[in-house]
Amino acid sequence: YIAKKDSTVSLKCDLGDKDHPAIKSVVYKFHKTYDLSTSKPISLDSKNKELCSEDDVPTCDLTNVQYTDKPSMQNTLDTADNHIYQCYAEITMIDDAVVKLWSHTVKLDVYYPPTKENVPVVSDPKSVSIGKAMEKLLCDLPDSNPKTKARWSFEKKDTSTWVVIDIPNDLVRGDRLVIAEDDISAISKDDIDRGMLLIMIFNEDEDQGNYKCEVVYDTEFDDADMTYERSKYEVTSNGQNDAGALLLRPVSEITKPNLVNQDSAHVNFTVYIRDTPGRGKWGDVSYVWQIEENNQDVDLEVNDYPNLQLSDHGRTLTVRDLVKYREDEFQCKIKR
The gap between the terminal CA atoms of the chain, to the nearest Å, is 45
Average pLDDT over residues 90-118: 89
CA distance 235 to 159: 14
64-67, long-range: CB < 8 A, 24+ apart:
64/6, 64/7, 64/8, 65/3, 65/4, 65/5, 65/6, 65/7, 65/8, 65/9, 65/108, 65/110, 66/5, 66/6, 66/110, 67/5, 67/110, 67/111, 67/112, 67/145
CA atoms within 13 A on the CB side of 115: 1
Average pLDDT over residues 136-155: 92
Per-residue pLDDT at 248 exceeds 60: no
Residue 47 near residue 35 (C-beta atoms within 8 A): yes
Q: What angle do CA 220, 222, 150 make, to 5 degrees?
A: 60
Give the residue from 80, 30, 77 showing the smallest Cα distance to 52: 30
Per-residue pLDDT at 63 exceeds 90: yes
Task: State which amino acid sits at residue 13.
Answer: C
Between residues 182 and 308, the one the model is more confident about: 308
Residue 53: what pLDDT?
Answer: 81
Handedness of CA 243, 244, 246, 251 (dihedral sign): negative
Per-residue pLDDT at 153 exceeds 90: yes
CA distances from 151 to 148, 180, 196 (A): 10, 11, 10
pLDDT in tens, 274-292: 555 555 666 667 788 998 8
CA distance 161 to 151: 16
Per-residue pLDDT at 157 exceeds 90: yes
Average pLDDT over residues 251-258: 54
Residue 275 near residue 251 (C-beta atoms within 8 A): no
Give the residue from 250, 244, 245 showing the smallest Cα distance to 287: 250
Handedness of CA 283, 287, 293, 294 (dihedral sign): positive
Residue 254: what pLDDT?
Answer: 54
Output the average pLDDT for the chain. Answer: 83
Question: Which pLDDT band, with edges at 50, 70 and 90, does 310 fall under?
Answer: confident
Q: Are strands 121-122 and 226-241 parallel, antiparallel or unpaired?
A: parallel
CA distance 94 to 116: 60
Residue 176: what pLDDT?
Answer: 83
Give the residue from 161, 176, 241 showing the smallest Cα distance to 209: 161
Per-residue pLDDT at 114 exceeds 80: yes
